[in-house]
C-alpha cells in the first residue's frame, strides 16, 4: 500500500486552488463518506479551512451503519463543526443543509441594509458524492457526476438560490498516509482508482474486515455456514458458493474479489461502517 502514488498532479493543483479561493468564501462544506468518516476527512483541508465556518456532511448514509453514523455525527459536532447526515441518492438531508446555510447567511446579514451573498466552498476527497450533493441542492445537473473518482475538474461557481453562491472543487487526497488502514478504507469505498490497486488482495482484505466486524452480514450474503481461519480461505469459500471456478477447478480470485468489493460498495452486503 505504501508504494502507491496517492498524490497526482491535479490534486496538488486542487490544494493550490483551495488556498487561492479561501479568502473568497465564508463557509467550507466538507463532504465525508459516512462509512469512513475519519479516513475520508482530509487533514490538509482541516488545516486550510481552520478559520472558516465548517459544515461536515456525512454522505452515503444509506450505505453506513445507522447507529454508528449517529455516534460519529455527535462526536464531530463536539469538535465545533456543524454536522449533517445526507443520502444524495434520495435527497435525504439536502433540505436541512439548505436551511442551515440560509440561517448562516441571515445571521451574517443581520443589520445590513444591503444583503451580501453567502459564498461557500464544497470540498472533499474523490468519490464521496460532492457532485451529487450539488445537483441535489441546485435541482439540476449543475456538476458532472460519476461513480469513479476524479470526474470533477477545475473550478465552478454555482448559484444556490437567493444570495448564496457555491464554489465546487475537484476531490483532493493528501500526499502520505500515516496509517495504512486509511489507504485500505479509501480503496474499499472507491476513493482511489481500482486500476492502481491489487484487486485480489484488496478483496481478501475486505473479506477479513467484514468477517471480523460484520460476520452475520457476510455469512448471510454468501451463505457461509462457518468462517475459516484466514481471509484467503473465506474468499475461496465465497468463490465456491458463487460458482466462481475456472477450468481445472481453480478459484477465480479476481471475479470473487470484484464481486465482494462491488456488493460492499452498493450496500448489497448490508449497512456497514468501517470506522
**pTM of the full structure:** 0.85
The ranges assigned to domains in the chain are 9-168, 198-266
Q: Give the tens place of pLDDT for each residue, 72-109.
A: 999 999 988 899 999 988 889 988 999 999 999 999 99
* Whether CATH 2.40.128.20 fits 198-266: no
pLDDT digits (tens, 9 = 90+) for 162-221: 888 888 766 666 555 667 888 899 999 998 877 667 899 999 999 999 999 999 999 999
Q: Cβ atoms within 10 A of the Cβ of 139, count?
A: 11
Contact criterion met (CB below 8 Å) for 64 and 25: no
CATH 3.40.50.300 for the 9-168 domain, yes or no: yes
Beta-carbon contacts of residue 164 (< 8 Å; ≥ 6 apart): 101, 102, 105, 117, 118, 119, 120
Amino acid at each position: 500500500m505504501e508504494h502507491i502514488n496517492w498524490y497526482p498532479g491535479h490534486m496538488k493543483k486542487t490544494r493550490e486552488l483551495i488556498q487561492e479561493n479561501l479568502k473568497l468564501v465564508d463557509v467550507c462544506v466538507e463532504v465525508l463518506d459516512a462509512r469512513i468518516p475519519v479516513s475520508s476527512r482530509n487533514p490538509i483541508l482541516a488545516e486550510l479551512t481552520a478559520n472558516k465556518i465548517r459544515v461536515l456532511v456525512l454522505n452515503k448514509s444509506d450505505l453506513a451503519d445507522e447507529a454508528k453514523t449517529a455516534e460519529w455525527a455527535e462526536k464531530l459536532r463536539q469538535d465545533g463543526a456543524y454536522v449533517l447526515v445526507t443520502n444524495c441518492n434520495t435527497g435525504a438531508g439536502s433540505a436541512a443543509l439548505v436551511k442551515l446555510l440560509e440561517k448562516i447567511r441571515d445571521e451574517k446579514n443581520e443589520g445590513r441594509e444591503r444583503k451580501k451573498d453567502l459564498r461557500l466552498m464544497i470540498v472533499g476527497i474523490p468519490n464521496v458524492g460532492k457532485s451529487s450533493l450539488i445537483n441535489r441542492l441546485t435541482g439540476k445537473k449543475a456538476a458532472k457526476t460519476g461513480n469513479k473518482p476524479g470526474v470533477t475538474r477545475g473550478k465552478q461557481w454555482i448559484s444556490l438560490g437567493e444570495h448564496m453562491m457555491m464554489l465546487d472543487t475537484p476531490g483532493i487526497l493528501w500526499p502520505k498516509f500515516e496509517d495504512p488502514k486509511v489507504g485500505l478504507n479509501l480503496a474499499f469505498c472507491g476513493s482511489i482508482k481500482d486500476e492502481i490497486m491489487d484487486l485480489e488482495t484488496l478483496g481478501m482484505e475486505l473479506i477479513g474486515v467484514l468477517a471480523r466486524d460484520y460476520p452475520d452480514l457476510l455469512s448471510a450474503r454468501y451463505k457461509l455456514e462457518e468462517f475459516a481461519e484466514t481471509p484467503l480461505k473465506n474468499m475461496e469459500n465465497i468463490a465456491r458458493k458463487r460458482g466462481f471456478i475456472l477450468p481445472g477447478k481453480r478459484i477465480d480470485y479476481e471475479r470473487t474479489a470484484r464481486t465482494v468489493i462491488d456488493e460492499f460498495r452498493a450496500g448489497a452486503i448490508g449497512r456497514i461502517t468501517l470506522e
